[in-house]
Structure 1
Amino acid sequence: MTDDVKPLEPGIHRTMLLVSMLFVAVMAAMDLTIVSVALPYMAGDLSATPDEITWVVTLFTIGQALVIGIVGHLSRLLGRKRLAIIAVVGFVLSSAACGLSQNLDMIVMFRFIQGLFSGPLIPISQSVLVDAYPTEQRTRVLAMWAMGVTAGPAIGPALGGIITQALDWRWTFWVNFPVGAIALLLVLTFMRQTKPQNVKTDWVGLGLLSIFLICLQVGLDQGDRLDWFSSREIVFLLIAAFTAFIAFTARGVLMGEHNIINLRLLGDTNFAACSLLMGLTGVSFLAFLVLAPAMYVDQFGWEIVTAGYTVGISAAAFMLASLIANPYMTLVGRRAAVITGCILTASGWYFFSRINLNASPEEVIVPGALICAGIMFTFPVIAAQAFSAIAPPLRNDAAGLFNLVKTIGFSFGATFVTLLVYRGTQENWSRLVGFLDPTRPGYSFYLQETGLDDSSAETGAFFVQLIQAQSSLLTYTHVMEVMAVIALSGIPLTYFMRTRARRPATAVGRSAKTAGAAAS
C-alpha cells in the first residue's frame, strides 16, 4: 500500500483532513438545492418563463452526473489533490459567473460548468476519508460525512430563501466565493497528493456515458412538463438513454478497467448491493425533500417559514442518528443496522400516510424524523461497507460509481414522486367527482347539514375546493405508502452484504493489480 492511501495516525492532521472533506462535501451538496427557492426571482430578473428557468437546475445536475462517474479516471490522470484543487477553483469561478449572468443563456451555460466542477468533490471527499481511517473507524467517520451530504440539500432551500430575501438571488451563487476560498485553503494544507498516471481516456465510453446521462436527466426533468409519453421528445430521449446505457454497459463489461468507468467493480456482489441500497436511499431522501414541503404549504396551508422549520426539526434526526449509528452497528452488526434503517424509513412513510388535512406541525415532525433517522442509519453503514473488499488503487473508481448511482437515485426519487402526484391527483379527482350525484341520499343530507344551496355558485366552488383537497391528500397518502414499500425493498439486498472480511472478487482483484502496477 502506497503512502498516499495508508490510514493516517490519530492526530491534528487527520482531524483537520476530516474537517476539510466535510467542508468540501457540504459545499458541493448544498448547491444542488440552494437556488431552488430563488428560481422565480431569477425568472423575473432574466426575462425567463417558469419552464425555461428550470434548465438552471437541469443543466447543473447533468454536469455533476457526467463528472461523478469518471472521478476514478480523472484522479489517475491528474492526481487526487490536483483534481480537488481544480474542482474547487472552477466551482468558485463558475459560481461567480452565474451571479454575474445577464440572461438565461448565460446562467444556464455557467450553471452547467458549475455542475462539472462540483462533480468530483463528493466522491473525492469519500475516498479520501476511506483511505485516511482504518476499517473499524470508517462507519463513524462516514456517518459524519453522510450527515453533511444529506444535510446540505436539506438546508439548501431554507438558506437560499434567507439569502434571496435579505440580499438578492445572485448571492446564492456569490456566497460560494468565501466558502470556496476556505475549502481551497483546507485542501491545499491537509489533503495528501497522489501521483498522476499515464492513462488513456476512453472517448467512446465517455461519449456513450454522456448520451445516457444527458438524455436520461433531461427526460426525467422535463417529462412532467411535456406530459411524458405523450411527447415525442421525451420518448426519443428515453429510448436514446436506454440504448446508450445498454451499449455502455455491454462495452464496459468487456473492457473492464479500460472503460471510462470500471463496471467490473459491480462483480463484487457486496459493492453492487451497497450501491443499489444507496440508490434506494437516495430515492427516499429526495422524495422526502420534495413531498414534505409541498404538502405542508399546498395542502395544509402553512406559511413557508413554518414548513421550513418543521422540515428542519425533522431533519435534526440526521444529527442524532449519526451519533448512534456506529455504536448501534457495533452492537448488532452492519446487516442488522441497515435493516433497522430500512424499517425506520418505511415506518416514517407509513405514519406520514396516516396524516389528515387538520394535522399540526407537531404531528408531522415524528414521521419525518423517523424517515431521516432511517436514512442516516443506512447511509454511512453502506458507504463504509461498500469499500470493504475494494483494493486501495480502485477506491476512487468505486467512489465515483457509488456516488453516480446515488445521484441517479436522487433524480429518480424527485421525478418518481412528481409523476405519482401528478397522475394520482388527476385520477382521484375524476373518481371523487363521480360521487357528486344529486340522486344520492348522502348528497342531499350533506347539503342540509352544511346549509349549502345546490343552485348557488358558492356551493359549486366549495365542492371544487373540497374535492381538490381530498384528491391531493389521497394522492400523497398513496405515494407515501409506495415509498414505504420501496424502503422495505432494500432489506433483501442486505443478504448480499459481506459481513466477514474477504479478498476482493477475481475481476476486481485483476483490476487492482493493473492499477497498482500503473501507480508504481
Structure 2
Amino acid sequence: MQQTESLVEYGSRRVIITITAIFCALLEIVDTTIVNVALNDMKGNLGATLSEVSWVITAYAIGNVIIVPMTSWLSAQFGRRNYFAASIMIFTVCSFLCGNADGIWELVLFRFLQGLGGGALLVTSQTIITESYPPEKRGMAQAIYGLGVIIGPTLGPPLGGYIVDHYSWPYIFYINIPIGTIAALLTLQFVRSPKYALKKAIKDIDFLGIGLLAVSVGSLQYVLERGQEDDWFSSATITSLIVVTILGFFFFIWRELTTRNPIVELRVLKNGNLRVGTILSFILGFGLYGSTFIIPLYLQSSLHWTSQQAGMIMIPAALTTAFMMPIIGMLIQKGAKQTVLVALGMVIFFVYSFWGYKILTPDTSRDNFFWMLIFRGLGMGMLFIPITSLSLSTLKGQQIGQGASFTGMMRQLGGSFGIALITTYMSRTNMQHRSNLLSHLDATNPAVQNRVSAMQHNYILKGMSPDIALQSAYKALDYSVSGQAQVQSYMDVFMFIGVMFLCCIPFVLMVKDKKQATKLDMGDMH
C-alpha cells in the first residue's frame, strides 16, 4: 500500500493541489450550463437556427461523456500530471477558439474538443484530491471536491446571464483562459503522478475498445440530447443510433472482459460499494442536473423572468450546499453511517420536490421559492459526499481513479437521462393537461360566457371592434389554458423526481455498512 500513501500531501502543498483541482472541476461544470442562457445571442450572432445552436450544448456533452471512462487509462499512459495539465491546456485553448468562432459549425467543433479536455478535469480532480488526503480524512476531501461539483451547475446560469447582459457571448468562454492558464502552471509544479501507472506499448493499446466506447457512448448521448426534438422512434437517425448504442455497449463489454489490456477496467465493479455508488451517482446526476434544468426553464417560460434573475435565485441553494459540505465531511470522519446520510438526503430532496409541486402556479411570487430551494441545497449537500466516499471507500491505488471514472460517467449520464426524460415527459403531459382543461371549458357554461364577454368588453374599451375583441378574448383564454397546462406539467415533473428519490431509500438502507471493511483495509495499510 506504499504507492497510495506516497501520494498523500501535507501543509501548503496539499492546499495548493486542492484549490487547483477544485478550480478545474468548477471550470468544467460551469461550462456545462453557462452557455444555456447565451444560446439566443449565439443564434442571432452566428445566423443559426435553434436546432443548430443547441448542438453547442450537445457537442460538449458528447465530448465529455466519451472521455470520462477513459481518464484512468489515459492517466496511466501519459502520467497523471502530464495528462491533467494537457487536458487543462486543451480546454483553455478551445475556450479561446470557441469565443473566436465565426460560424455555428466551427463553434460546435471547438465545443466538442473542449468537452474532450473538460471530461478529464472532473474525474482526475476527484482522484487527485482523494489521493492527496490520508484515508481517514477522505470524507472531508470529498466534501471539498463536492463544493465544485454541486455549486458548478448552479453558478453557470447567473454567471452566463450577467456576462451576456453586460458584455457579449464570447466572454463566457474567455473567462476560462486566465483560470485555465494558472491551473495548468500549478498542476505542472505541484501535482505528482502515481508510481503504479505503467505505460503500455502502442501494440498493447486497446484501440478497438476506444472505438467501441466512443461510438456507443457518443451515440447514447446524441439520442438523449436530441431524441425529444427529433420525436424519438419516428426519426430514422435516432432509431439507428439506439441500435448502434445497444450493439456498441454489448461488444465493448465483451471486449473489455476478454482483452489483456482493457481501456476501461470493468472488473473494478466487483467492488460492492462501487456498484452501489455508480447507481446512486446516476440518481444524483438525475436530480442535480434535472432540477438545475427545470427551475430556470419554469421561471423564464411561465413567470417571464430574465435569464439573470432565474440564475440568481439558485444562489441561496448553492450557498446552503457549500455550508453543508464540510459539516457532512466531519460527520463521516467521526463515523456517521454513509447509508443513513444518503437516505436522509433523499428524504430532504423529496420534501423539496413535493414543496415545488405544491407552490407552482402561473404567477408564483419570488419569496415562495426561497425555503424550497434551501431544502434543495440541504439535500444535495447530504447526498454528494456520502455517495462519493461510499463509492471509493474500499478502493485502493489505481482502482480509485477507475472508480472515480465510473461514478463521474454515471453522474453525467444521469443528468442527460434526467433532462431527456423530463423534456419528453413534459411535452406528453402538457398535451394531456391542455385537452383536460379545454374539456372543462364549455362554451354554454354561464361562467365561461361571462369571462369571455368581460374580456371582450375590456378589449373594446382599448379601441378594438367587437368582432376583433371577441377573437382576442378567445386567444387570451387559450393562452391562459396553455399556461396553466404548462405549469401542471412542471408540477408533475417535481412530483416524479421526488417519488423517484423516495423509492430509492429502502434500496440505500439495504446496503451493508462497509465500515468494517474500510477498517480492515486501513489495518492492512499499517
- TM beyond 0.5: yes
Corresponding residue for residue 494 of structure 2: 480
Structure 1: distance between partners of 2:519 and 2:224: 36
Moved more, 189-198 or 337-346: 189-198
- Say yes or no: does 1:385 pair with 2:372: no
Aligned-residue offset at 1:445: 6.5
TM-score (norm 1): 0.91
Q: In structure 2, how many angstroms separate the alpha carbons of the residues matched to 1:458 and 1:141?
A: 60
Q: Give per-residue Cα distances to partners, 1:319-378, cap 9 Å, x unaligned.
A: 122132224444642111111111111110011000133321111121222122212211
Cα offsets for 1:272-319 (capped at 9, x unmatched) = 111110110110011111111111122123344332221222322211
Within the candidate set 316, 335, 359, 2:364 is matched to 359
Quote the residue 2:442 is aligned against: 437
Change (3 A) 1:92 1:4: farther
> Does 2:124 correspond to 1:124?
yes
The alpha carbon displacement at 1:83 in A equals: 0.5
Contact 2:212 2:251 in 1 (8 A): yes
Match of 1:512 in 2: none
- Change in CA separation of 1:297 and 1:503 when aligned onto 2, cut-off 3 Å: closer
Alignment partner of 1:52: what SS? helix
- Kindly state the Cα deviation for residue 228 of structure 1 after the two structures are TM-superposed: 1.7
TM-score by length of 2: 0.90
Instruction: Specify every segment of 5 or more residues in structure 1 that has no aligned partner in the other structure, as ranges.
Output: 506-520
Q: What one-letter code is carried by the residue in structure 1 that aligns with 2:410? A: V
Query: How do 1:465-476 and structure 2 match up within 5 A?
Result: 465-476=479-490
Aligned equivalents of 1:91, 1:504: Cα separation in 2: 39
Change over 3 Å in CA distance of 1:346–1:452 after alignment to 2: farther
Q: Cα distance, 1:462 vs. partner? A: 2.5
**Superposition CA RMSD, Å:** 2.3
2:414 alignment partner in structure 1: 409
Q: Could you say which residue in structure 1 is the equivalent of 2:430? A: 425
Distance across 1 between alignment mates of 2:207 and 2:272: 28
Asked if the contact 1:350–1:481 (Cα under 8 Å) also holds between the matched residues in 2, the reply is yes
The counterpart of 1:492, out of the listed 499, 506, 511, is 506
Alpha-carbon distance change, 389 to 327 in structure 1, aligned in 2, over 3 angstroms = closer
Q: For residue 354 of structure 1, give the secondary structure of its aligned residue in structure 2.
A: helix
CA contact (8 A) 1:64 1:118 kept: yes
Q: Name the residue aligned to 1:59.
A: 59
Q: Which runs of 5+ in 2 are unaligned?
A: 459-465, 521-526
Within 5 Å, give how 1:77-88 maps onto structure 2: 77-88=77-88
Structure 2 counterpart SS, 1:490: helix
Residues 269 and 497, structure 1, Cα contact 8 Å, conserved in 2:
no
The 2-side partners of 1:57 and 1:327 are apart by 37
Contact 2:162 2:308 in 1 (8 A): no
Partners of 1:294 and 1:336 lie apart in 2 by 33
Describe the SS at the equivalent of 1:197. coil
In the aligned structure 2, how far is the partner of 1:448 from the partner of 1:40? Answer: 38
Gap change, CA 1:303 and 1:54, over 3 Å in 2: closer
Q: Describe the superposition over 1:473-508 as per-residue Cα deviations: whole angstroms up to 9, x where unpaired.
A: 111111110000121233234222543232799xxx
- Tell me which residue corresponds to 1:21: 21
Taking the aligned partners of 2:14 and 2:427, their CA distance within structure 1 comes to 48
Shift in CA distance, 372/229, structure 1 to aligned 2, threshold 3 Å: farther
Counterpart for residue 463 of structure 2: none
Q: Which residue of 1 aligns with 2:324?
A: 321
Q: Distance in 2 between matches of 1:446 and 1:102?
A: 52
The answer to whether residue 209 in structure 2 is matched with residue 205 in structure 1 is: yes
Number of aligned residue pairs: give it: 504
Matched to 1:341, the amino acid is: G
Contact 1:4/1:193 (<8 A) preserved: no
The alignment status of 1:278 with 2:293, answered yes or no, reads: no
The residue that corresponds to 1:400 in the other structure is 405
Where do residues 128-277 of structure 1 align in structure 2 (5 Å cutoff)? Answer: 128-195=128-195, 196-199=197-200, 200-255=204-259, 258-277=261-280
Query: d(CA) in 2 for partners of 1:259 and 1:439?
Result: 71
Q: 1:496 aligns to what SS in structure 2?
A: coil
Aligned pair in 2 of structure 1 residues 437, 243: CA closer, same or farther (>3 Å)?
same
Give the structure 2 partner of residue 305 of structure 1. Answer: 308
Q: Which residue of 1 aligns with 2:49?
A: 49
CA apart distance, 1:115: 0.8
2:277/2:387 contact within 8 Å kept: yes
**Alpha carbons of 1:366 and 1:164: their partners in 2 closer, same or farther (altered >3 Å)?**
same
Matched to 1:501, the amino acid is Q
Deviation at 1:225, TM superposition (A): 1.6
Aligned residue for 1:377, secondary structure, equals helix
Kept in 2, the 8 Å contact 1:270–1:498? The answer is: no
- Name the SS for the 1:208 alignment partner: helix
Partner SS for 2:314: helix
SS of residue matched to 1:414: helix
Q: Which moved more, 1:407-416 or 1:31-40?
A: 31-40
Instruction: Confirm or deny: 8 A CA contact 1:96 1:173 kept in the other structure.
Output: yes
Compute the displacement of 1:425 (Å).
0.9
Change (3 A) 1:492 1:202: farther
Match of 1:69, as an amino acid?
P
| 1:335–1:499 Cα contact (<8 Å) kept | no
**CA deviations over 1:193-212 (Å, ceiling 9, x no partner):** 23552323212222221111
Are the aligned partners of 2:150 and 2:318 in contact in 1 as well (CA < 8 Å)? no
Cα 1:26–1:331 change in 2 (3 A) is same
Looking at structure 2, the residues matched to 458 and 173 of structure 1 have their Cα atoms a distance apart, in angstroms, of 44
Q: Which amino acid aligns with 1:299?
A: S
The answer to whether the 8 A contact 1:346-1:371 is kept is: no
Matches of 2:398 and 2:306, distance apart in 1: 51
- Distance (whole Å) between structure 1 residues aligned to residue 194 and residue 10 of structure 2: 21
| Cα shift at 1:384 | 1.2
Q: Residue 69 of structure 2 aligns to which amino acid in structure 1? A: G
Q: Does 1:333 align with 2:337?
A: yes
> Kindly, what percent of the aligned residue pairs are identical?
26
Residues 50 and 447 (structure 1 numbering): CA distance in 2 closer, same or farther, change over 3 Å? closer
CA distance in structure 2 between the partners assigned to 1:328 and 1:447 by the alignment: 60
